[in-house]
Chain A
Amino acid sequence: MGVETEADRLFMINTTDFGTTATYTLVAGGVSSVVGIFDNEYFESDANTNVGFVSTQPRFVCTSASLPSTAGYNDTVVVNSATYKVRVIQADGTGMTTLILEKQ
């Protein structure tokens, strides 16, 4: 459990600085807006071939409380006009969650 409050966490990811607003759609239905930080860095990975491949690695970091309580695999996130599917939800136990995304 973190020592900061939800307001503290939301302040760190506010849209005035590095945060952006994503549209989060549950598989079962239901749409909400979630504020977080979208990362999409380039990286190189191994494909069991002589050379690897380079790709971006889309991640969305938000407060755990801002996600729908039933958020899960295959939900849809639209951020910066691009559509992603949620593949992994990583709650860090201190109030922040990272969504591992797959570009559609």
Chain B
Amino acid sequence: MSHLRKQIRDRIIANVSNLTSTGSRVYQTRLYPVASVSLPTLLVYTVSETSEPETMSRPRKIIRRVDFALEGMVNGTSGLDDSLDAIAKDVEEAILADPTCNALAKDTVLTGTEIDYNASGEQPVGSVKMTFQVTYRTTETESESPA
């Protein structure tokens, strides 16, 4: 078994694969730039996590809050904002229809959305970055299973 965080990330990626707006162009932790011919696309990153003990006796239960960034990118000569909102709709609905990530987590909330535009290439490119915070719990001696 792998860390519960990885299991949650895998579940999120499965939930956003083959969306109407981005199709199968979903990349986990992509580190190389995306070619404009490959847009629209969806990038998934684990950004950060906070944790704190929830019980006194050992092994303590640890409540964790991990932030995942889901970044949609699209290009076009018109309607960029509409395309970005279509990606946001698809992603939000897919993620929040499964807020426990198949019973791996306690809850999932959308904590922020950033939208950006860039017109320095052959066609304008827009991006929408959505941050989802997933709350889950493990014991401090076993990080593979929900507690």
A53 touches B36 (CB 8 A): yes
Interface residue B20 (Cβ < 8 Å from any Cβ of A):
no
B121 touches A51 (CB 8 A): no
A87 to B121, CA, bound (A): 11
Residue of B nearest to A57 (CB): B121
User: What is the minimal beta-carbon distance from B62 to any residue of chain A, in angstroms?
Assistant: 27
Residue of A nearest to B126 (CB): A47
Interface residue B114 (Cβ < 8 Å from any Cβ of A):
yes
B116 touches A53 (CB 8 A): no
Whether A53 touches B73, Cβ cut-off 8 Å, given contacts A45-B121, A47-B118, A47-B127, is yes
Tally of A-B Cβ pairs under 8 angstroms:
81
A55 touches B123 (CB 8 A): yes
A46 touches B122 (CB 8 A): no
B33 touches A53 (CB 8 A): yes
B121 touches A49 (CB 8 A): no
A48 to B45, CA, bound (A): 14
User: What is the minimal beta-carbon distance from A78 to any residue of chain B, in angstroms?
Assistant: 15
A58 to B119, CA, bound (A): 12
The listed residue (B31, B73, B122) touching A102 by CB distance below 8 A is B122
A47 to B124, CA, bound (A): 10
Q: Which 3 A-B pairs have the closest CB atoms?
A: A55-B121, A48-B116, A55-B36
* Other A-B pairs, 20, CB within 8 Å; known A49-B43, A53-B73: A40-B122, A45-B125, A47-B118, A47-B125, A47-B126, A47-B127, A48-B114, A50-B30, A50-B31, A50-B43, A50-B45, A50-B69, A51-B32, A53-B34, A53-B36, A54-B36, A56-B36, A58-B122, A102-B123, A104-B77
